[in-house]
Amino acid sequence: MTDLLPSTARTLLARTARAQRDGRVPSLVAAVVRDGELVWSAGRGAVAEPHTHVQYRLGSISKTVTAITVMRLRDEGAVDLDDPLEKHLPGTPLGDRTLGQLLSHLAGAGSESPGLWWERTPGTTLEGLVLSDADVVLPAARRFHYSNLGFGLLGELVARIRGRAWADVARDEVLLPLGMARTTPRPSGAAAQGTAVHPWADVVMAEPEHHAVAMAPAGQLWATATDLGRLGSFLLGDTGDVLSPDTVEEMTLPAGIDSASPGWSSYGLGVQVQRVDGVTLVGHGGSMPGFLAGLWADREDGTAALALGNTTTGMDGGLPAGLLADVRAAEPRIVDAWAPSPSPVPLDLLGPWFWGPSPYVLRAIPGGMLHLGGLGRPGRSSRFVARPDGTWVGLDGYFAGETLRLDPVALNLATFVFTRTPYDPAAPVPGGVDGAGWHA
């Protein structure tokens, strides 16, 4: 185990201690993961020891596990993200919404299941929920609308295709392969009691805990800090063959934007994505009566942080992001040394190109990729990876998914033609080039 410096550990402990005291959290466990290991942790308040082995309820972090089970089906070819729900789970009012829309909270599904408050009452089966058209609250693909119900339906889809309960699929295909043996649907062994703290006095009350049944995929799981740290390593790329790293990367790409957030906040496929102080973090927050949780990973820095508390409200949701900022400031990552590498394309194709009069530059970047972006001024920017047929496909930015074709005279990209000089008359510029050329 590569521990952090004592000075860093003290800074992290001070932040965690303030969060526990100021938030009046009966017990709080926080931890940092780096290079695949739990490199720091602390327990504050009434935490049993060892604090990293005490279970807390994860709430909506369970959605990330549910999304992993769906993406495994997708990678196997059993489902497609463009499939309508009806194809695999018939008989719901959301049958025309796609799996991708449900995963990214773009399906317009109701935020909660019908009936009593599902988080505080014993659960029921999908049939027992008695879904109706009232559970469709928005048109598909129009706006982000967080939906616990949508993830309940995704869990039921997984159960139907696999022929066994979602919790069993999650255990056998995700949790145990990742070494998360202390992550369970109900508390098992050392576990914190969920509590509510009175808003005007320092007194507490126990919160109820039940199995959510059909809604379990939205927020049922309990885990220790050690296990949640392993999920953090998963988000950082140590996928343990549960999913390919490329699929995890796909899950972390923003899809639905949460316009209600005061900062840049979005949602991928079962994963929240947020921009904090210029750094992109991926992970998920969680809340259930009696518990708050957060897991956030800085994939560029290879570091993740988590917090688990047994309180219904009060714990600082920014604690994991703050811990990550402390680590970046105190022990910045020492990057690998630069070394020459072969260019993936002939050198004469690199350098300045022009989209009309706008200057761009095509560069070779690490990983055998190309980058096209504005030169000396903002412009549409994307990375590209090679295809077997000699073309290139955009990974991100404006040209994500678009095909780039390289030619010494012109770059062809999504009907745009980039030329070596502005509106080069020798290139096939759409609309042609005025024969009078450039003039004063």
pLDDT of residue 379: 79
pLDDT beyond 50 at 351:
yes
* Domains in the chain: boundaries: 6-330, 347-419
Long-range contacts of 186-190 (CB under 8 A, 24+ apart): 186/211, 186/222, 187/55, 187/57, 187/222, 188/55, 188/222, 189/53, 189/55, 190/48, 190/53, 190/54, 190/55
pLDDT in tens, 175-201: 999 999 999 999 999 999 999 999 999
pLDDT in tens, 228-245: 999 999 999 999 999 999
pLDDT band at 327 (very low <50, low <70, confident <90, very high): very high
pLDDT beyond 80 at 227:
yes
pLDDT of residue 380: 86
pLDDT of residue 259: 60
pLDDT band at 143 (very low <50, low <70, confident <90, very high): very high
Quick one: average pLDDT of 119-140? Answer: 95
Residues in the chain: 440
pLDDT band at 277 (very low <50, low <70, confident <90, very high): confident
pLDDT band at 258 (very low <50, low <70, confident <90, very high): low
Q: Are 254 and 266 in contact (CB under 8 A)?
A: yes
CB atoms under 10 Å from CB of 361, counted, come to 15
pLDDT in tens, 244-255: 999 999 999 988
pLDDT of residue 1: 39
- Please say whether the structural domain 6-330 has been given the CATH code 3.40.718.10: no
pLDDT of residue 232: 98
Residue partners of 106: CB distance under 8 A and separation at least 6? 100, 140, 141, 142, 143, 144, 145, 255, 256
CB atoms under 10 Å from CB of 302, counted, come to 16
- Comparison of pLDDT for 262 and 158, the residue scoring more: 158
pLDDT of residue 278: 85
Q: Are 327 and 303 in contact (CB under 8 A)?
A: yes
pLDDT in tens, 5-52: 999 999 999 999 999 999 999 999 999 999 999 999 999 999 999 999
Determine the Cα–Cα distance for residues 199 and 67; give it in Å rounded to an integer.
35
